[in-house]
Amino acid sequence: MRYHRDDVVARALEVLDTYGLGDLTMRRLGTELGVQPSALYHHFATKQLLLAAVADEILARGPHGPRPERWDDRVAAVCSELRDAVLAYRDGAEVVATSYSFGLGAAAPYDDLVASLAEAGLDPSLVPTAARTLLHFVLGHVTDEQTHLQAGSAGAIDGEPLPESDFVAGLGLVLDGIRLRARGDALDRSGIEKQRS
């Protein structure tokens, strides 16, 4: 049976969710599909390109609600949707973070954050940094949650399950810092404009 690219990505996502990133190999995926691993290279030249497609699929399957009017509410919505999307799949945060960091995919949340942050009043040179900081927070937080959950379910740690997530509080702290910096940048710009006039 000949598989299409979308079929390969869908099966790879199933393997990821069932066995984890460490066991998502071209050999295992070929076995799951009933083909030689070499047949998969017809669709993806490297495993990293396959993982990039899986990362994009994780994001595509995630929630996508209407965007609020205020820039900071939009940023919070993008971050919450990203968290929900990657939490839905085992090792989802690691797959998305790796793909984004290699520049192979998973760029949609970054692009959405940049668009929203452009309205914050930040110095434009800081907008990409703020977007990356938010991504690092979300993906790092979820990686921590997923690692703890998987280690607990495998019996690798004896600790209690994590208490209620502090994601919203942490995101609020990051956003508070961005708002504060944006106010400072706006004051600096108005002071420069007064000096020129």
User: Can you give the pTM of this predicted structure?
Assistant: 0.87
Does 72 lie in the same domain as 27? no
79/165 Cα distance (integer angstroms)? 14
Does 101 lie in the same domain as 190? yes
55 domain residue, yes or no: no
Does 189 lie in the same domain as 121? yes
Which residues in 154-169 are b (16+ Cβ under 10 Å) and which e? eeeeeeeeeeeeebee
Query: Is residue 32 classed exposed, middle or buried when 0-12, 13-18 and 19+ CB atoms within 10 A define those classes?
Result: middle
Q: What is the pLDDT of residues 98-125, one digit of tens each?
A: 999 999 999 999 999 999 999 998 999 9
What is the extent of the structural domain holding 28?
Answer: 5-45
103/176 Cα distance (integer angstroms)? 29
Q: What is the pLDDT of residues 135-147, one digit of tens each?
A: 999 999 999 988 8
90/19 Cα distance (integer angstroms)? 8
Distance between first and last Cα of the chain: 73
